[in-house]
Amino acid sequence: MTMEDANSVYVGGLPYNVTEEALRRVFSTYGTVVDIKIVNDRSVRGKCYGFVTFSNRRSADDAIQDMDGKVWFSPKKN
């Protein structure tokens, strides 16, 4: 499975300290998570995003449907 796989979902706006374990914990409620890729790209105006790959398309669709636009982490206060 790769991030280009139909079973993968894009997860944007992640905090820099996000872990694979945290993503797995949140997204495993939708099905079996088989791969997680986190990209910390501070060179492009500080973006952190990732891809979560499920064992089947239904789980990916459910995650997209339910999580779209939600903030599931607490933003760090300055």
Provide the CATH number for the domain around residue 25: 3.30.70.330
Please give the pLDDT value at position 40: 87
Residue 30: domain span: 8-67
End-to-end CA gap in the chain? 38
- Counting every residue written for the chain, the total comes to 78
* pLDDT lower than 70: segments of the chain: 1-4, 44-46, 72-78
Output the pLDDT for position 75.
54
Tally of domains in the chain: 1
Question: DSSP alpha helices (H): ranges in the chain?
Answer: 20-27, 57-67
Any bridge partners for residue 49, and if so which? 39
| Whole-structure pTM value | 0.82
Lookup: tokens for 10: 């894009």
Is 78 part of any domain? no
Read off the pLDDT of residues 31-48 as tens digits, 9 standing for 90 and up.
999 999 999 877 766 688
Q: DSSP class of residue 13?
A: S
pLDDT of residue 4: 58
Partner residues linked to 9 by β-bridges: 52
Contacting residues for 75 by C-beta, under 8 A, at least 6 apart: 15
Q: How many CB atoms lie within 10 A of CB 55?
A: 14
